[in-house]
Structure formats: structure tokens, C-alpha cells
Amino acid sequence: MTTREENELLTRTGRGTPMGDLMRRFWLPALLSREVEADGAPVRLRLLGENLIAFRNTEGKVGLLGEHCAHRGASLYFAKNEECGLRCLYHGWKYDVDGNCLDQPNEPPQSQFKDKVKQRAYPCIERNGIVMTYMGPPEAKPPLPEFEWLNVPESHVYISKRYQDCHWLQGMEGDIDSSHLAFLHGIEAMKKATEHDMAASSTLVADNIYPKLEIVHKGNTIVQGARRDADAQHHYWRIGAWLMPCFTVLPAFPQDAALGGHAWVPVDDTKVWAFGISWHPKRPLTKQELDWFHNGTPTGIHSTMIPGTFVAARNKSNGYADPARANATQPWQKITVFQDQDTAITESMGWDFDRSDEFLGNTDIVIAHARRRLMDAARALRDGKEPQVDPKDYRLRGVSVLLPRDVPSWSAAVAEQMDTRPETFLPGL
């Protein structure tokens, strides 16, 4: 059982907290590339409890600065984005993407004061439509994690972002909870999937409501296998992963479908940015797949948004209801889309849910181990031991597969298939 002290340790991510300091030791998604354009309007952003400003300079580089000007604290949201820098509207102080002060027009021409001024700035790396940032000490900055979706061609990847009204841990733990599939989402909905045919796998899930869960610790990851009976000779395995500190890789979908995963980046201690990531290791995504992802399909991980926002169209204010089911007699019957069901449940917990009131069961083994790994790493960092971040630990993809019942090791049997070399990709079941 999680104690109140552990709950506090797990849930506070502001600057100077043990968990906040830990999360700042990793590269995290900050925003989508399409949110900023060269010399375009600055964008307000909140990450890990910090108010930030993102912008793209004249040369196309993305900067991420503290919102308040180092001079007198005016918001750089109103700054002029021009000539490779943000110029504060209040007194004209100008900053580049690295936070260097380039100009101070209200200071004497001979003054060298600008060379002593530094605006808070976080380094950014842009890949495949997403901007990754590192918010920790420069001397501790690790290499970029080697996620498959960061390294395949851009045409192979689709990334969405949504603002979710729950604690980041609640959202992330839904991804590593394999036992809720048949209960929350329902077998009939799985059979009616549009973006991939789940009919065969849904039957296996329906016949095995209680999966046998096993885990393997591997560097900064936990690989989880959910085993269900298939036939007299085989087990059906759905295998995904949790990756330190807030990433998930979902079990593979059937046929030649794109793979999926999430990054759960705290806005603060009450909200989360959920980045949904779909990619294919071997080929560009089709127009049909891109349309599905953009429009939020019934069994997908992407949501339909309120135009011009990152807020899901079906949300707490309207009961997450499918308009076609608005007259259903019970609240749960109105929610028909997988992602809406997940969001409704995780938001229903309340961001301040006290985990000391939980009773974790056998099927919560991955959640328990992930929490323990996070707490151990946060405490170690607090005591002066930096986390060991190997970018190769993130070379994992999810699989779903039939394996012989007498296989000596399921994790060894799928190790090659989970390795993110394109030639090892096999369609899921």
C-alpha cells in the first residue's frame, strides 16, 4: 500500500521537489512543431509547474524561455518575435533561443550589462513533429532517448497532444494496466474497430478476463507481459512497456497497423499533457491512417479536439458523451470511444486522490513496480546520486503474439521483435 508520504513524493513535480528534480533529468516532449512558426506569435506553455514561452526564430530554431522577462518580469507572450529573438514589449530587452540577452535599448550604448543577463532557457531538439526539451542542470544533460518514433522518417509518424484534467500518474498508469481492457472498453467495441481488425484478439481477451501479468526490468524500463489462454498449445501475449519517467509503449495492434504509445508530461500537479504517438517502423502512414488519427477513431489513442484547442471535444463538461448516445439511461453508456473512456475514468479519480486509500491487487504489479522505481530514483537523486540514463534503453516497441505454452522465457522469445530495427517488425495479433 502507498503511504501518504509516498503519495506526496510521487505526485509533486515542481522545481525543488524530489520527483520534479528527477523528471527534469530526462528529455520530455514540450510541444508540437506545428504550434510555432518562424517569426510567428509566441506560445504560452506550462510544464512541470513552470510558466514558459515557446517560439520559433527567424532561422527556424525553437526556443523555450521562462515567461517573465529577466528585467522587470513582463510576460514574453507579448514580445516581438523578430530577427532571431524575442524582444520584450515593455523595455525592448531581446533574448535568443539560448536565453542570451542580445540588446537593451534602454541602457547606455556603451553598457555591457546585457552580457551579465541570462533569461531562463531550456534546450530543445525537434524531431518528427515534436519538440523535446531538457529542463535539468546542463552538466547532467543526457543524450536524447532513442525512441523508434524519433528516428524513423517523419512520414512514418503522427503525434497529437491533449490537455487532460488529471494528475500525470493517473493517465500514465492507465496505459500499463492491462486488466481493464475487457471491462472498461468492452469486447463488442473492440470488434467494431476501424483502424485495425481486433476481432480475433477481442475474443481472446473476452475469454480471459483475468490475465496473468509478468514483468522484466531492463535498464530504465519495465517490460510487461499480459498472458491469456489461446488454445491447447499457445498463450496469447500482449506486451508493452513503461519507460522512465513518463513514457509508455502499448502492445502492438493487429495486422500491419501502426504502433502506439504515450508521453505523460505534467502541466503541474493537477493537469497533464498527453502526447499520443502513432508510428510505423517500415512504411509511411497512409492517408486513411492520418485521417483516422486526426479525427479520433473509436478504438484509437487520439482524440477529436475542440477546434483551435488541445481540449478533447468529448470532455468532463459534456460527460464525455457520444452525441449519438446522449439519451442513454446511464452515464457510462454514453461514452463509446476508447480514449474518452480512459480519460473519463482517470479524471474521475480527482487530481488530488490520496493513494494511501488504494488497495492494489495482483493485476496492479506493473503500477506498483513503476511507482517504486520512480520513488527510488527520486530519493537517490535527493541524496546526490544522479540517474543513469542510457538512450538505448528506449529502443523498444510493443508486440502482441501467440507463443507456445512451454516457451522457456516469453521476454527472450520477443526480444528480437521488440528491438526497434525495422527488419524485426512483425504485425501484431
CA distance 155 to 284: 5
* Cα Rg of the chain, angstroms: 23
CA distance 279 to 301: 12
How confident is the model at residue 206, as a pLDDT? 65
How confident is the model at residue 192, as a pLDDT? 58
CA distance 172 to 246: 7
Q: What is the mean pLDDT of each run of 10 residues along the chain (429 residues)?
A: 91 97 98 98 98 98 98 98 97 98 94 95 98 98 98 98 95 89 68 58 69 94 94 94 98 89 97 97 95 84 94 94 90 89 93 89 92 98 97 96 96 97 91
What integer best gives the mean pLDDT of the chain?
A: 93
Q: What is the DSSP string of 333-388?
A: GG--SHHHHHHHHHHHT-TT--GGG----GGGHHHHHHHHHHHHHHHHHHTT----
CA distance 277 to 248: 10
How confident is the model at residue 176, as a pLDDT? 93
Distances (CA, A) of 392 to 15, 197, 243: 28, 32, 11
CB 320 within 8 A of CB 344: yes
CB 74 within 8 A of CB 58: no
- Domains for the chain: give ranges and CATH numbers: 27-140 (2.102.10.10), 148-424 (3.90.380)
How confident is the model at residue 196, as a pLDDT? 59
Task: Answer left, alpha or beta for residue 145, where phi above 0 means left and psi between -120 and 50 means alpha.
Answer: beta
How confident is the model at residue 180, as a pLDDT? 79
DSSP structural state of residue 105: T
Question: What is the tens place of the pLDDT at every residue in 183-216?
Answer: 777 666 665 565 555 556 666 766 667 789 999 9
- 3-class SS at 177? coil
